[in-house]
Amino acid sequence: MELKLKFFDKEEWSMYGTINVMIPFLLLIVLQQKISYDTLILASIIGMMKGDLIPKIIFTGFLNFLVYEKNIEWIFRSILFVVSTFIIHFIPYNNIVHKTVMNNNILLWIMRSIVLIWMCYIFYLFI
């Protein structure tokens, strides 16, 4: 099995990954899950994975054990991340949202700002 994580490879890939990261992030919010630095980092890693579905799901399972908590919420969040991985896998590269962002300077700057805010917020949660 082969799986790649692509961070800041090319701007097109970063924007695609950022759009993908919105899936687990929105699911965490909608399902009222705890937002912490580890869940945000996990969501980021899931959004930046490239490869076949089964390796992505297996890797996501292992990543869930890195943030293990002995409670039912951890099980629910783990399932949420696996479902997010499944959904993200079927979002094609160069989809309509991705193309729209890449072809619009204002949207591109908004997405760049979102990435910066996302990273700053993760560092803030460490404090």
Spatial CA neighbour of 106 closest among 94, 114, 116: 114
What pLDDT is attached to residue 4? Answer: 81
Q: Give the CA distances from residue 22 to residues 25, 44, 52, in Å, rounded to whole numbers and listed in that order.
A: 5, 9, 20
- Number of domain units in the chain: 1
User: Average pLDDT of the chain?
Assistant: 91
CB 34 within 8 Å of CB 73: yes
Range of the domain at 52: 3-126
Model pTM score: 0.88
> What does the pLDDT look like over 1-48, one tens digit per residue?
778 877 777 888 888 989 999 999 999 999 999 899 999 999 999 999
What pLDDT is attached to residue 90? Answer: 96
Q: Residue range 82-92: average pLDDT?
A: 96
Spatial CA neighbour of 46 closest among 67, 31, 32: 67
CB 31 within 8 Å of CB 87: no
Q: Residue range 52-66: average pLDDT?
A: 94
DSSP H stretches of helix in 1-127 = 11-30, 37-47, 53-66, 72-89, 96-102, 105-126
Q: Hey, which residues does 14 pair with through a beta bridge? A: none
CB 68 within 8 Å of CB 74: yes
Q: Residue range 100-120: average pLDDT?
A: 93
